[in-house]
Amino acid sequence: MLQEAIAKITEIAGVLQQSVNKYAMAVKEIDGRAFKLADRDKAIDDKELLLIKREEAIKPIENVVKYHDEAMALKDEANKLFAKVTSEKNAFNVSMTAKQDQINALTRDTGILKAKAEKETVMIQKEWDALNKEKVEYKEKILDKIKNGIR
């Protein structure tokens, strides 16, 4: 019976040894998987860092796009203002052209009136001179009559 017990203990020890061996194999396999998972984890962390760096690199580009959009809006506003100013300038030029035409017409009319006035002034002066001459002649006639009448 002792031998049977020893045999049974030996058999149980063999089964236990097999279980320990299986457990050890399972632990090695789990360690291998854990190592692979740790490698994958590290790779994921590395990729996350790379993505963070890329996001940081993209932020200035996003700012550039934002500034570009703002610049384009300002450019559109400037173009509208330029068109308005150009329109006002053109209207002003048309107004100035009309005023210049009026000034030219008035200058021409003034020149015509000035020439007429000068002509009339010359005619009036001639008439004045003629009247003065007649006055002098009339005076002389009267003086002659008075002299001839007194004698």
pLDDT, tens digit, 9 for 90 and up, residues 82-134: 999 999 999 999 999 999 999 999 999 998 999 999 999 999 999 999 999 99
The tokens describing 80, both together, are 């509208």
pLDDT, tens digit, 9 for 90 and up, residues 5-29: 788 888 888 887 888 788 878 788 8
> Can you give the pTM of this predicted structure?
0.41
Domain spans in the chain, listed from the N-terminal domain onward: 1-108
The tokens describing 9, both together, are 């203990």
The tokens describing 46, both together, are 């590395």
